[in-house]
Amino acid sequence: MTIRRARTIPALIVTLVITAGALVVATGPTKAGAAGSNLPPANRAALAKMFRDELKPLGLRVSRGLLQNPETYDPDPKGTHLALYLTPTSSAYATDDYVKNFAKITRVFVPMVFHRWKGLRTFDICQEPVDDPRDEPPPVTQIYVSRDALDRVGTWKKATLVELLAAAPKDRRQRGADYYVYFNSDIRSDPTFQKAAGEAGYNTYGLFG
């Protein structure tokens, strides 16, 4: 609609056209932005709802989730780093669950988050401790992936723990690299994990796990 043409239209019609135009302006961009956004939601509730069905069978839920500025890691609704934190839904979630679900979680999110949201540059996801009351407990496991690192694994949707370990930098001092994994001491001591690490040539006692 253009204001110039309004002078040739009866006043009532002009009013209706302007009203309709206002509705389009008010509602159109919101719907378009929601459908075609280059970034995921910036709040935990929306992220938890979005991934609930994929995580429920694994006994996990999104306990924290946010977009961050990749330079400062401060919360930022326009940030290009997505951080997700998963908490077990049962106190029976054990060390072997953390191990066996590490690759399953990765397959849920990578490379999907990068394909779905073109503005996203980096992503990390942590499994958090069971029944830990702290607001920000230290992670039990973590995987960090940048868009530039998607070629490190041949087929992400079929990636195994061995493949994910083999793709990590041999020198864990390269934590600032485009891809890394972390496991706490309990996970590093797990027999299943140690077997996978041996097959991958992954040093379980390096600087970052």
Of 53, 157, 148, which Cα lies nearest the Cα of 110? Answer: 157
* 24 and 105 housed in the same domain: no
- Please give the backbone phi and psi of residue 91, each rounded to the nearest 5 degrees, phi first: -70, -10
Q: How many domains does the chain have?
A: 2
Q: For residue 102, tell me if it sits in a domain.
A: yes
Q: For residue 209, tell me if it sits in a domain.
A: no
Amino acid (1-letter code) at residue 56: K
Q: What does the alpha-carbon distance between residue 164 and residue 153 come to, in Å, rounded to a whole number? A: 7
* 107 and 190 housed in the same domain: yes
* 26 and 52 housed in the same domain: no
Q: For residue 206, tell me if it sits in a domain.
A: no
Q: Give the structural domain span for 51.
A: 44-200
In eight-state DSSP terms, residue 138 is P
* 70 and 30 housed in the same domain: no
Residues belonging to the chain: 209
Q: For residue 208, tell me if it sits in a domain.
A: no
Q: For residue 139, tell me if it sits in a domain.
A: yes
* 102 and 179 housed in the same domain: yes
Find out whether 160 and 193 touch, Cβ atoms under 8 Å: no
209 residues of the chain, pLDDT tens digit each: 333 333 333 443 333 333 344 333 333 333 333 334 899 999 999 999 999 999 999 999 999 999 999 999 999 999 999 999 999 999 999 999 999 999 999 999 999 999 999 999 999 999 999 999 999 999 999 999 999 999 999 999 999 999 999 999 876 565 557 999 999 999 999 999 999 999 999 987 654 44
* 182 and 157 housed in the same domain: yes
